[in-house]
């Protein structure tokens, strides 16, 4: 058996002798890793989701017609070419009648929406999405046929679903934008365009839009933009603080477990010194044990953290989040760092003692 | 200079003086016993000769090497090359088998060789206990594993601190006969500390200590 194999063999023997302690130490690391992965995953995902939520609520810039009643599709062409514009979507508003009740109709691009919780499905051609207040007022059910009156035209449409957002959508009916434009005879027309501009350049981009399109109103939802960034930063700071506290707590817990382990094995350390082990060769055993504990904790912590983050995201946003794979390496690295750094001090302390003192039981 | 040379070694602790200027020379290949009452300083002297402790004053030379000039790691390397230890409490690693305990000494020395470790255990009569853990061995068997571990790297010196202190008379005799056999075959130097006159008489030379000093130095004829 060569020295490396013997080292691993001894390591295995040592760890399997102390399964309880290894489990406790690994559990401490696992919890820390799980919280870090969860916090990081949620933090990364929340930026993605929150941005999506605010996009679907309304962007940070709204373009509306200045003197004309409607905007034309040409606005889209200009916005497509601006690199500071992250996304945009047009909407068309009109008054229609549904089963005799006068309601607002919103034509919008359902493909650009995220995070809408729809009971049913988004409307296809010939279908209509109903706000929950309208549903309740008219006593509608899924797949019901409704008579939609636009001007002097009556069209039968099928109810594809219901939506409740706590906003104006609850009191409106919604159709695909192109369909709404055809129904109302306003093909190529828009009532508003919602634009999402990169927050850091919002002022400059708005000015550029105004300069290039003097015939439209360009307004910033300044409070939304700043609140979004501020909120995200607060979330990230909170996550960072929680992570820090957890790391410290975990480090203390693992350190005390490792201290107890080293104390238990003081005679073993004394013996190793007596039979010719140098400080580094002895230290290597214990740090390797710490490394194994860190790997076990880091791996299991990643799985637990990943599942927790998904559970939180599903609960909060109704969907899962995408956690970058590098978080796995962060979890593993962090686990090893906690365990190894918690081992260094007790081992180094034990190595200070003379072998004679240890073996004598002092 | 003799093979082992102890020059005016003093060891002081905060509340006591363990050694009060000990001088001692040991020829290569000799078996020396050190006897004395509890607290006479014999174990302290042995530890200082083995580099497990350091003197407050004085020096120890082994084969011309001044132990005081060695760093802690250098001392560890010197020990693994030259000195084997047998302790009263055998200090075997409890979760390793007999073979593995012997291989631990090999690991720190050079390479681990299981066949060699098995051979060492066979020589001490434990060929049938290779894969037993210390808790499965008797006191005498544990000490034999300890002797195999101490001698696996062919040291020049064997330091034994009350090696039979926890054993009954029969096992004591067995251990001493084993040491005598190995000593005659391999000619290492033995320094054995004991409070038992029966054990001390197996040596070739007897040093008597009292109150931190060597008060008698006499040859023994076995």
Confidence (pLDDT) at A57: 47
- Kindly state the average pLDDT of the residues B27-31: 93
Q: Are residues A166 and A71 in the same domain?
A: yes
DSSP H or E stretch at residue A296: helix A279-317
| Boundary (domain end) residue, out of A186, A220, A254 | A220
Report yes or no: B11 at the A interface, CB cutoff 8 Å.
Answer: no
Q: Are residues A317 and A292 in the same domain?
A: yes
Report yes or no: A322 at the B interface, CB cutoff 8 Å.
Answer: no
Number of structural domains found in chain A: 2
Distance CA B116, CA B131 (A): 15
Q: Are residues A114 and A202 in the same domain?
A: yes
Q: How far is A266 from chain B (nearest CA, A)?
A: 11
The separation between CA B125 and the C-alpha centre of its own chain, rounded to angstroms, equals 20
> Which of the two residues, B107 and A48, has the higher pLDDT score?
B107
Of A3, A278, A359, the CB nearest to B91: A359
Instruction: For residue B27, give both structure tokens.
Output: 């020829």
Q: Are residues A260 and A301 in the same domain?
A: yes
Confidence (pLDDT) at A51: 53
Cβ-based contacts of A261 with chain B (< 8 Å): none
Q: Are residues A38 and A115 in the same domain?
A: no
What would the CATH number be for the domain defined by B4-219?
3.40.50.300
Q: Cβ of A240: how many Cβ atoms within 10 Å?
A: 13
Q: Are residues A92 and A48 in the same domain?
A: no
Q: What is the ipTM of this complex?
A: 0.89
Please answer yes or no on whether B93 and A268 come within 8 Å at the CB atom: yes
Cβ-based contacts of B113 with chain A (< 8 Å): 1
Among B94, B103, B112, the residue to mutate for chain A (most A Cβ within 10 A): B112
Exposure string of B158-180, with b = 16+ CB inside 10 Å and e = fewer, is: bbbbbbbbebeeebbbbbbebbe
Q: Are residues A174 and A253 in the same domain?
A: no
The conformation of residue B51, written as its DSSP 8-state character, comes to: T
| Boundary (domain end) residue, out of A191, A220, A249 | A220
Confidence (pLDDT) at A260: 84
CB A307 within 8 A of CB A314: no
DSSP H or E stretch at residue B199: helix B197-200
Q: Are residues A191 and A158 in the same domain?
A: yes
Cβ-based contacts of A281 with chain B (< 8 Å): 108
SS3 B55: coil
> Which of the two residues, A4 and B145, has the higher pLDDT score?
B145
Confidence (pLDDT) at A56: 55
Q: How far is B22 from chain A (nearest CA, A)?
A: 19
Confidence band (pLDDT; 50, 70, 90) for A53?
Answer: very low
pLDDT tens sequence across A117-141: 889 999 999 999 999 989 999 999 9
pLDDT > 70: percent of chain B:
99
Confidence (pLDDT) at A87: 85
Radius of gyration of the CA atoms of chain A, in A? 31
Q: Are residues A238 and A271 in the same domain?
A: yes
Task: Specify the pairing of strand B83-86 against strand B157-161.
Answer: parallel
Confidence band (pLDDT; 50, 70, 90) for A226?
Answer: low
* Backbone CA torsion sign across A16, A19, A24, A26: positive
Confidence (pLDDT) at B134: 94
Residue A78 pLDDT > 90, yes or no? Answer: no
Confidence band (pLDDT; 50, 70, 90) for B75?
Answer: very high
Task: List the single residue in A with minimal CA-CA distance to B50.
Answer: A274
Of A349, A350, A267, A274, nearest to B47 by C-alpha is: A274
Cβ-based contacts of A7 with chain B (< 8 Å): 107
Tell whether pTM > 0.90: no
- Kindly state the average pLDDT of the residues B141-164: 93
- Kindly state the average pLDDT of the residues B197-216: 93
**Residue A108 pairs with which residues in a beta bridge?**
A91, A176
Instruction: For residue A83, give both structure tokens.
Output: 């690199």
Confidence band (pLDDT; 50, 70, 90) for B213?
Answer: very high
Q: Mean pLDDT lowest for which of A236-240, B111-115, B171-175? A: A236-240
| Boundary (domain end) residue, out of A220, A246, A279 | A220
> Which of the two residues, A227 and A51, has the higher pLDDT score?
A227
Residue with tokens 């916005």: A79
Among B53, B105, B107, the residue to mutate for chain A (most A Cβ within 10 A): B107
Q: Are residues A190 and A339 in the same domain?
A: no
Q: Give residues 76 to 105 of B whose Cβ lies within 8 Å of A.
A: 76-77, 79-81, 85, 87, 89, 91, 93-96, 100, 103-105
Distance CA A32, CA A28 (A): 6
Confidence (pLDDT) at A181: 93
pLDDT > 90: percent of chain B:
82
Among A356, A357, A358, A361, the residue to mutate for chain B (most B Cβ within 10 A): A356
Q: Are residues A244 and A177 in the same domain?
A: no
CB B7 within 8 A of CB B179: no
Q: Are residues A84 and A208 in the same domain?
A: yes
- Kindly state the average pLDDT of the residues B22-48: 93
Q: Give residues 21 to 60 of B whose Cβ lies within 8 Å of A.
A: 43-44, 47, 50, 52-54
End-to-end CA distance of chain B: 26
A-B C-beta contacts closer than 8 Å: 83
pLDDT tens sequence across A285-327: 889 999 999 999 999 999 999 999 888 877 766 566 778 888 8
Residue A360 pLDDT > 80, yes or no? Answer: no
SS3 A85: strand
What average pLDDT does the structure give for chain A? 85
Query: What is the span of the domain harbouring residue A330?
Result: 3-52+229-360
Please answer yes or no on whether B95 and A14 come within 8 Å at the CB atom: yes
């Amino acid at each position: 058996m060569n020295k490396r194999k013997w080292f691993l063999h001894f390591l295995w023997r040592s760890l399997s002798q102390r399964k309880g302690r290894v489990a406790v130490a690994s559990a401490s690391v696992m919890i820390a890793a799980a919280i870090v992965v969860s916090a990081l995953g949620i933090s990364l995902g929340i930026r993605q989701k929150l941005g999506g939520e605010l996009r679907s609520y309304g962007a940070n810039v709204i373009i509306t017609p200045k003197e004309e009643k409607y905007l034309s599709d040409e606005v889209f062409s200009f916005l497509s070419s601006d690199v500071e514009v992250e996304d945009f979507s047009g909407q068309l508003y009109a008054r229609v009648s549904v089963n005799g009740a006068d309601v607002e109709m919103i034509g919008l691009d359902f493909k650009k929406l995220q995070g809408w919780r729809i009971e049913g499905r988004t409307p296809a051609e010939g279908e209509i999405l109903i706000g929950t207040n309208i549903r309740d007022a008219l006593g509608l059910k899924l797949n019901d046929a409704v008579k939609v009156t636009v001007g002097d035209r009556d069209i039968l449409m099928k109810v594809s679903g219901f939506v409740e957002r706590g906003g104006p959508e609850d009191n409106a009916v919604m159709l695909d934008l192109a369909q709404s434009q055809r129904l109302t005879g306003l093909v190529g027309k828009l009532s508003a365009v919602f634009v999402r501009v990169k927050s850091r350049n919002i002022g400059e981009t708005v000015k550029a839009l105004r300069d290039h399109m003097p015939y439209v109103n360009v307004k910033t939802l300044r409070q939304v933009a700043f609140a979004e960034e501020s909120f995200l930063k607060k979330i990230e700071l909170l996550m960072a603080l929680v992570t820090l506290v957890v790391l410290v707590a975990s480090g203390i817990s693992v350190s005390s477990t490792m201290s107890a382990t080293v104390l238990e094995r003081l005679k073993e350390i004394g013996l190793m010194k007596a039979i010719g082990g140098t400080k580094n060769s002895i230290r290597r055993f214990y740090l390797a044990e710490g490394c194994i504990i860190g790997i076990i904790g880091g791996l299991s912590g990643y799985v637990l953290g990943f599942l927790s983050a998904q559970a939180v995201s599903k609960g909060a946003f109704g969907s899962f989040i995408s956690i970058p794979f590098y978080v796995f390496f962060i979890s593993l690295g962090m686990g090893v760092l906690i365990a190894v750094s918690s081992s260094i001090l007790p081992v180094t302390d034990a190595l200070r003692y003379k072998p004679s003192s240890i073996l004598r039981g002092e | 200079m003799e093979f082992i040379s102890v020059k005016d070694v003093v060891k002081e602790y905060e509340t006591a003086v363990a050694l009060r200027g000990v001088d001692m020379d040991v020829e290569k290949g000799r078996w020396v016993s050190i006897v004395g009452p509890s607290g006479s300083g014999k174990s302290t002297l042995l530890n200082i000769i083995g580099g497990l402790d350091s003197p407050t004053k004085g020096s120890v030379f082994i084969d011309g090497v001044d132990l005081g000039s060695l760093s802690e790691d250098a001392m560890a390397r010197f020990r693994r090359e030259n000195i084997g230890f047998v302790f009263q409490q055998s200090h075997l690693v409890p979760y390793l088998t007999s073979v593995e305990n012997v291989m631990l000494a090999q690991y720190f020395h050079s390479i681990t060789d299981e066949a060699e470790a098995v051979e060492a255990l066979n020589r001490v009569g434990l060929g049938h206990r290779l894969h037993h853990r210390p808790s499965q061995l008797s006191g005498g068997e544990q000490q034999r594993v300890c002797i195999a571990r101490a001698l696996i790297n062919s040291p020049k010196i064997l330091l034994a601190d009350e090696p039979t202190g926890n054993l009954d008379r029969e096992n004591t005799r067995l251990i001493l006969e084993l040491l005598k056999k190995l000593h005659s075959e391999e000619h290492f130097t033995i320094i054995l500390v004991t409070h038992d006159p029966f054990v001390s008489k197996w040596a070739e030379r007897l040093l008597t200590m009292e109150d931190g000093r060597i008060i008698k130095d006499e040859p023994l004829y076995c």
